Amino acid sequence: MSIEDLKSLMEPGRVVEDQEVIRTYIDDWTGRYKGSTSAVTFPHSTDEVAKILSWCSTNQVRVVPQGGNTGMVGGSVPLNGELIISLRKMKNVSFSNTNRNQIVAEAGATLLEIQNLASGRGLMYGVDFAARDSATIGGTIATNAGGLNVLKYGTTRRQIVSVEAVTGTGKVIGNLNGLEKDNTGYHLPSLLCGSEGTLAIVTRAKLKLWPEPEETVTILFGFNTIEDAVNLTEDCMSTNTEIVACELFFQKGVDLVRDAYDLQPLWGNKNSIYLLCEFAGDSGISDRLSENILGEILQTHNSVLVATTDRERQRLWQYRELHTVAVSQKGIPLKLDVTIPLGNLPHFLDGIDTICGNINPLSLPYVFGHVADGNMHLNILQSEPNVAEMEEEILKFVVSLEGSISAEHGIGRAKAPYLHLQRNEHEISLFREMKKAFDPKGILNPDVIFLTCS
């Protein structure tokens, strides 16, 4: 078997062996995972994906499906010479012809392309986050991406109505019937969403769209205690039906972003804890906000910035959205993406400082995230040489707080050694049986989710 055989099955240009081209696909976004491969394939259709996977299955060639390569857990690059199947050339998007509130997208379409198409019809796609210009529909389905609007619209799993995919033996499964109610056996969209390319390669999906809100208000609050910030978060969640996003971040991260992007200080840095809340709905939302719990806060609290225009809102969001890139400009962080029950958040934050300080006093933990979902991102700079010790200690601490070791980025290769902290042995062996059913030769992302499959 040689790659020439595969080439002979495909249109010209679908299989690239030029290392100059390949080198832009083999390292992950964080810089922690550096891969290598002899070829990248660029299928243009479901049939071509099926042809490639059938050939790989017959010839026992292991593959890594790749979308925008913005994944955070080392799941999208070939660490053992795997063939990359890049979905980037599959970018068709169109409105469904049977339901005007649905979009049909090929796997390589980006979040931004979906958002732009939807907006043209006064609709919106429920998932959004800073990597919107490169994260793809296939990748966000594979990782069940969350992002900024989970509080109101849910994770990617809530957006998929139908899915089409190709199994590890090259069989096309699923459909694009776009039926919200189709209880005919196991629900493939739910099953494949979050499977991280280990069960099948997603080729197309039918996605639900939501009405675009008439008015959006973004409010940034400064606090000095985490309890106050969590209380306001819970108040908003329990009283305000129009809350869309609630993001928590801290002075250290704001200082890093400000330095990196030359931003103004917020209230002369007199606070240390920041809560960014976004509300969206029918026009008149500003008045409605002043009538409910926010009215009092907006009167009495002296660190509040209210943004109603797109420009003002983007100015506030950059203090949060630029955290990931600002941290990565300083080095390769140990990236943790955990969920903590809100009531345990203060304890978590204290514990993190203690663990990092005890293991490596020079380490620099930055905490920020989607606080309404309990999803905290921990990016720790200067964690070497104690990376594994720190990671294990923190993940065990998270589990002790009844949290999750992975909130939205998935398991990938990064968290595979810790899956047993979260799932029991019966579940993990069941996962392995499921994988064998979809991918009997174990060629799809073999080291992702599970420690080496073979």
Contact positions vs ligand MLT (CB under 6 A) = 72, 129-130, 323-324, 335, 337, 377, 379
User: Which tokens in the block code for residue 89?
Assistant: 């050339």
- Least distance in Å: CB of 5 to ligand FAD? 24
* C-alpha dist (Å) from residue 432 to 152, 172, 416: 33, 21, 13
Angle among Cα 204, 100, 68 to the nearest 5 degrees reads 30
How long a stretch of residues is the chain? Answer: 454
CA atoms of 139 and 110, how far apart (whole Å):
9
- Residues with Cβ within 8 Å of 63's Cβ and at least 6 positions away in sequence, in order, are 52, 53, 56, 82, 83, 84, 85, 443, 444, 445
Q: Which is nearer to ligand FAD, 107 or 273 (CB)?
A: 107
- Least distance in Å: CB of 31 to ligand MLT? 12
- Least distance in Å: CB of 171 to ligand FAD? 15
In the list 48, 196, 373, 447, the residue contacting ligand FAD (rule: CB under 6 A) is 196
* C-alpha dist (Å) from residue 258 to 221, 252, 307, 322, 407: 17, 10, 19, 9, 27
- 71 lines the binding site for ligand FAD (CB under 6 A): yes
Helix pair 310-321, 251-261: axis angle to 10 deg: 110
Q: Which is nearer to ligand MLT, 130 or 205 (CB)?
A: 130
In the list 43, 139, 253, 442, the residue contacting ligand FAD (rule: CB under 6 A) is 139
In the list 52, 53, 61, 130, the residue contacting ligand FAD (rule: CB under 6 A) is 130
In the bound complex, which residue of the shown chain has the CB atom lying closest to ligand MLT?
A: 324
- Least distance in Å: CB of 400 to ligand FAD? 24
Residue 69's binding partner among ligand MLT, ligand FAD, none (Cβ under 5 to 8 angstroms by kind) is ligand FAD
User: Which tokens in the block code for residue 263?
Assistant: 């931003």
Please list the residues that pair with 381 across neighbouring strands.
364
Contacting ligand FAD within 298-337 (CB under 6 A)? 324-325
In the list 41, 70, 96, 159, the residue contacting ligand FAD (rule: CB under 6 A) is 70
Q: Of the candidates 248, 254, 235, 237, which has an alpha carbon nearest to the alpha carbon of residue 276?
A: 248
Q: Which is nearer to ligand FAD, 139 or 222 (CB)?
A: 139
- 146 lines the binding site for ligand FAD (CB under 6 A): yes
- Least distance in Å: CB of 64 to ligand MLT? 20
Please list the residues that pair with 223 across neighbouring strands.
273
CA atoms of 289 and 218, how far apart (whole Å):
11
- 339 lines the binding site for ligand FAD (CB under 6 A): no
CA atoms of 265 and 223, how far apart (whole Å):
15
Residue 379's binding partner among ligand FAD, ligand MLT, none (Cβ under 5 to 8 angstroms by kind) is ligand MLT
- 360 lines the binding site for ligand FAD (CB under 6 A): no
* Contacts with ligand FAD, 15-34, as mask; x by CB under 6 A: --------------x-----
- 395 lines the binding site for ligand FAD (CB under 6 A): no
Q: What is the DSSP letter of 296?
A: H
Scanning the structure block, which residue is given the tokens 């009844």?
402
In the list 46, 66, 240, 339, the residue contacting ligand FAD (rule: CB under 6 A) is 66
Is residue 294 a contact partner of residue 220, using CB atoms and an 8 Å limit? no
Is residue 407 a contact partner of residue 185, using CB atoms and an 8 Å limit? no
The upper half-sphere exposure of residue 5, i.e. CA atoms within 13 Å in the direction of its Cβ, equals 10
- Least distance in Å: CB of 302 to ligand MLT? 28
Please list the residues that pair with 218 across neighbouring strands.
278, 307
Residue 106: count of CB within 10 angstroms of its CB: 23
Residue 67's binding partner among ligand MLT, ligand FAD, none (Cβ under 5 to 8 angstroms by kind) is ligand FAD
Binding-site size for ligand FAD (CB under 6 A) equals: 38
- 53 lines the binding site for ligand FAD (CB under 6 A): no
- Least distance in Å: CB of 383 to ligand MLT? 14
CA atoms of 295 and 2, how far apart (whole Å):
69
- 123 lines the binding site for ligand FAD (CB under 6 A): no
- 129 lines the binding site for ligand FAD (CB under 6 A): yes
